[in-house]
Structure 1
Amino acid sequence: MPRHRALLPALAVPGLALALAGCADDGGGGSGPEVAVTAYPMQFVAERVLGDAGTVTSVAPAGTEPHDLELSPSAVATLDGADAVLYLSDFQTAVDDALAEVGSGLVVDAADHVDLLTGGDDEHDHDDADGHDDHGPDDHGHDHGGVDPHFWLDPLRVADLGDALAVELGEAEPELAATFENNAATLRGELEDLDERLRTGLAGCVDRTFVTSHEAFGYLAHAYDLTQVGISGIDPEAEPSPARVAEVLAEAREHGVTTVFTQPGGLTAGADVVADELGLTLATLDPIELAPSDTDYLGAMAANLAALREGLSCP
């Protein structure tokens, strides 16, 4: 169900009570709705669904790791004044806190429209024999409530969000509903094509287990019958415990892993230790939390497919 938040009492910001439809034609050129987003994956979806029918503004400064996002006063004002906000609850604490305080015409929570996995739903469990998580006390510095937020590593879940956003924006702005619907349908077609390429490209891989520095690829593993072994947990900046590194070394030996995947930007979270210890190759797998360089989500996922095919000995 759509989530709408009540506006601030007495509307402290002049004009904030305008509905999205009214803002779409404000006499200043009819630029369409303004949608605020909080991380690159939501930005990609919003830009594709709106097309030229509106504007998308990200409140996340370029290069800021989304788990660590802190909002400036101007960013909070952007959320407050936007016609719509697209975000994922329980992913960025600062965003959750801000949206609990400010008024916004329409708030679309991806968690209401996308089937989210809990940690371990990629069929890899980090609990030891006593049922304790052995990542270490500092590994999950950002509490996601046991839910893996990285749904965008499954293209079909991204398509579901695009469809839902089109419906919610279309209900708020009926004159643009067909445009949003058509844009979402085009996006779904591209994402279904990407899904088929991933499914076909990974189907015959000799190796089915991959080691990553950042446990961000549970959705990808779940969708394409792979097993993710994460050195660090959901938070990419957390340092894994020595016990966790030892466990990863054992699993890598057991499964004949040849490649350890780290993320762009140099955050290895123990990947270099594992690679050095076993004489393995280091390669890059992008969790697409930040805007990719010189491409977009589709291009980054295609690059991930190529990296996995090489690292997993795929024919």
Structure 2
Amino acid sequence: MMPPRRLLAAVAVALLIGTSAACGDKASGFAADGRLDVVTAFYPLRFLGERIGGDAVAVTDLTKPGAEPHDVELYPRQVGEISDAGLVLYLKGFQPAVDQAVAQEATGRALDAGSVVELLAADAHEDEHGHEPGEHEHAEGGTDPHVWLDPVRFAAVADRLAERLAQADPARADAYRARAAALHAQLDALDAEFATRLRTCERREFITSHTAFRYLADRYGLTEVGITGVSPESEPSPRHLVHVAEQARATGATTIFFETLVSPKVADTIAREVGARTAVLDPLEGITEPGADYFSVMRGNLSALTAALECTS
């Protein structure tokens, strides 16, 4: 059953879509200055749109900087931006309000980043996080949406985006593909950095407040132990908190990670219980530091992991 907050958001978007649809024909998909209008759902997708689109696109992000994106709600203006866009880049199942608006307002003009790569399943032990049996944390069949935290998968999404931009704007197709190739090379280099620095570590398990790093762990042979599940709004059960504390002691964890957009209270509690410190591991769902970008945050995460896991490479 859809949580009440998401149900209300879905109803609101349905009303907004009805209003938008009554306003007239869709625009051409290009801004008055000739740039292609691209709408992105949240920060990592905005990053791709800006890097690959360059000065040929006008990017509008649906999630405000520093906002938690999972349950974003849309204003009428934003539904109109989706309707008018030349291309919408989103991740189906991550933001229900965006999914509904895209389905009704951007048919044939949207790219689902999750359709490009193989998605990992969400935590199979959802009942340990306080969920009712059978209730999925992620709307899309219990899959984990955080694909951007794996540079290899993220590079595949970048390549597909370049092709979709080229279809929408053939006159600048070569430029889109060239920028995507350059970004792909940078992501390959980042992947090599992670692989090298995480090759030899004292521990292979790390504990996070929000289970957002399974793609990163899967790529580099690590194991993530999450205090809450894929959704940061989920509440861990007392049994699961005991389990996490036991895992921390058993693995000799020195660090409990929390994230930038969610309260660190539960992470602090576990850390005090096992005598560990806390540190930030950023899931990159929104940028909070001026001047930061995907690469700087990912390298900050790498430094935090190598310190916590006592890596020697």
**Which residue number in structure 1 is paired with residue 229 of structure 2?**
233
TM-score by length of 1: 0.87
Contact 2:122 2:137 in 1 (8 A): no
Deviation at 1:99, TM superposition (A): 1.6
Percent identical: 42
Q: Give deviations 1:87-140, integer Å, cap 9, x for gaps.
A: 0101101011112222466111112212211124xxxx537xxxxx21112796
Number of equivalent positions: 290
Contact 1:260 1:274 in 2 (8 A): yes
**Which residue number in structure 1 is paired with residue 33 of structure 2?**
29
Residue identity matched to 2:117:
V
Q: Give deviations 1:42-100, integer Å, cap 9, x for gaps.
A: 10111111011111101112322111211111111111111110001011010111122
> Are 2:81 and 1:65 equivalent residues in the alignment?
no
**Which residue number in structure 1 is paired with residue 200 of structure 2?**
204
**Which residue number in structure 2 is paired with residue 113 of structure 1?**
116
Aligned partner (choices 250, 253, 260) of residue 249 of structure 2 = 253
Following the alignment from structure 2 to structure 1, what is the Cα–Cα distance between the partners of residues 59 and 251? 44
Contact 2:137 2:229 in 1 (8 A): no
Contact 2:116 2:156 in 1 (8 A): yes
* Bigger share in helix: 2
**Which residue number in structure 2 is paired with residue 135 of structure 1?**
129
Following the alignment from structure 1 to structure 2, what is the Cα–Cα distance between the partners of residues 219 and 141? 17
> Are 2:179 and 1:183 equivalent residues in the alignment?
yes
Would you identify which runs of 4 or more consecutive aligned residues in structure 1 move more than 3 Å?
11-15, 138-144
Q: Secondary structure at the match of 1:134?
A: helix
Residue identity matched to 1:311:
A
TM-score by length of 2: 0.87
Following the alignment from structure 1 to structure 2, what is the Cα–Cα distance between the partners of residues 285 and 221? 13
Q: 1:81 to 1:210 in 2, by over 3 A?
A: same
Q: Secondary structure at the match of 1:36?
A: strand
What RMSD in Å do the two structures reach over aligned CA positions? Answer: 2.0
Aligned partner (choices 27, 36, 40) of residue 43 of structure 2 = 40
**Which residue number in structure 1 is paired with residue 144 of structure 2?**
148
Q: Secondary structure at the match of 1:115?
A: coil
Following the alignment from structure 1 to structure 2, what is the Cα–Cα distance between the partners of residues 14 and 73? 14
Following the alignment from structure 1 to structure 2, what is the Cα–Cα distance between the partners of residues 141 and 109? 19
Q: 1:169 to 1:304 in 2, by over 3 A?
A: same
Consecutive unaligned residues in structure 1, runs of 5 or more? 1-7, 128-132
Contact 1:16 1:104 in 2 (8 A): no
Contact 2:70 2:231 in 1 (8 A): yes
Consecutive unaligned residues in structure 2, runs of 5 or more? 1-17
Aligned partner (choices 287, 292, 297) of residue 291 of structure 1 = 287
